[in-house]
Amino acid sequence: MALLELIALFAVARVLGEACERVHVPALIGEIAAGVALGPLLLNWITPTDSVKLVADLGVFFIVYAAGMEMTFRGVRRIVKESGAAVAAGSFSLPFLLGFLVALAFGYDAQVSLFLGLALSLTALPVSVRILTDMGWVHTDVGQTIITAGLLCDIAGLTVLAVITNWGALTGGDVGLTGRVVLQIVLFFLIVFTVEHVLAAREGFLAKRLVAGSQRLLSRGAAFSVPLLLVFAFSLLAQGLGLHFVVGTFFGSVIIAEHVFPPHEGERLRTSIGAISDGFLAPIFFAYLGLVAVQFDPSLAALFAVLLLAAVAGKVAGSYVGARLGGFQSWSASLIAVGMNGRGAMELVIALVGLELGIIGGSVFSLLVIMGLITTFMTPFALRRLAKIPRPRSETGPEPGP
C-alpha cells in the first residue's frame, strides 16, 4: 500500500509539475499542489507516512547534493567574505526579532516566542535551490549568495533551536549547554576544512588517488557510489554533531566537486545526480510539503496575518540591507532579498520538532505550515516578476541570470 501511495504521489506531482512548466511556472508549484490535493487537506487519499517522509528526506539530500556539486570552496569563501555573511545576518536577525516581538504581543511566553521568531527567520535551502535551478541562476553571484546565505541562516537557526529545545535546562542554570552546542558546530567545520586542506595538499595528490581507486573498482556504478558514500558520511557527521544533515550534505558535495571529481571528470556524475533529483526525488519532496498541510484554525487569523507580514517584510528588508552592505547594487540586492523569502523545508522540520517536543500546539503548527507554503508559492512568482524589470543603466556588473 505504501508503494502504491508513493507511485501515485510521484505520478501526480510530475503531471502537475509538467503542467506548470508549460505555462512558465516553476514545477515545484505544481508538485506542492499535488500533495495538497492528495493529502489530508483535500482528498485525503495519501497521508504523510514515515515511508513517504523517508523518500522526501532523500529528495532534500539530492537537491542539496546537486547544488553543492555546482560550487567550489573558493567560490563559497569568496561569497561569504564579500556578501554572504552580511546577507545571512540581515536575513536571519530582522525576521527573528519581529517574530519574537509579535508572539510576545499576542501573549505567548518567551520560549514559544523565540520559537516563532526562529521559524520566521529560516530560508528553505532546498526550495531556494530548486527555484534558482529552474531559473538557471545557480552559477551566478546572486544565486550562490542566496544559497550560501540560506545555509548560514540554517546553521544559525539550528544553533538557536538547540537552545530553545533545552530552554528549561538553560533557565535552570545549565549554561554549559550553549557552549557545548557551539563547540559541536566548531568541531564540524574544523573537520570539514581539515578534510578540504588534506585533499588539496600536494596539488591534490590524495584526491587523485581516490579518483583513480574508484575507477579501478569493477562493480558497475562505482564512480557514482563512492562520492555518494562520502557525501553521506558528511551528512551523518553533521547529524551526529547536532546539525541538520543538509549542512553536511552541502559541504560534502562541495568537497567532492572541487577535489574528488573536478569539472572535466565529474560531468557524468552531475548528470546522474540531477536525473535522480529532478526526475524522481525532488518532486516527491515538494509533494510532501503539500501533504503535511493541515486545516487552518480561524481563531488564529489575526496572529497569522501579522506573523506572515513580519515574515515577508522582515526577510526581504533584512536580506536587502545585508546585500547592500555586502556590496550588491540595488537591483541585484532586490533579487537576493526576494530569493531569500522562500521557506518550507527547514521551517517544516523546525515546526515538527516544536510540535513533537510540546513547545507549540497543533494550531500553531498548522499556522507555521500554511505560512511556509504561502511563502514558498510567493517566492518564484515574485522573483520571476522582479527579474523582468529592466536593470538600471547606472548599475554595472554581471547579470544574475543566464
pLDDT value, residue 213: 63
Mean of all residue pLDDT scores within the chain = 81
* Rounded-to-integer distance, Cα 95 and Cα 281, Å: 31
pLDDT tens across 280-339, in order?
A: 998 998 898 788 766 677 888 999 999 999 999 999 999 999 999 988 888 889 999 998
Average pLDDT over residues 151-156: 79
Report whether pLDDT(402) > 70.
no
- Look up residue 301 and give its amino acid: A
* pTM metric for this prediction: 0.73
Percent of the chain at pLDDT above 70?
A: 81
Per-domain residue ranges of the chain? 52-387
Comparing 215 with 143, the larger pLDDT belongs to 143
For residue 191, the number of C-alpha atoms closer than 13 Å in the C-beta half-sphere is 17
* CATH code 3.40.50.1360 for 52-387: no
- Alpha-carbon dihedral angle through residues 187, 189, 191, 197, given to the nearest 10 degrees: -150
pLDDT value, residue 93: 95
Average pLDDT over residues 103-110: 93
Average pLDDT over residues 164-180: 64
pLDDT tens across 272-286, in order?
A: 888 888 889 989 988
Of 360, 363, 371, 356, the residue nearest 312 (C-alpha):
371
Maximum mean pLDDT: which of 134-138, 173-177, 187-191, 255-259: 187-191
pLDDT tens across 16-36, in order?
A: 999 988 886 777 788 888 998
Q: Which of 141-155, 226-240, 321-335 has the lowest mean pLDDT?
A: 141-155
pLDDT value, residue 264: 57
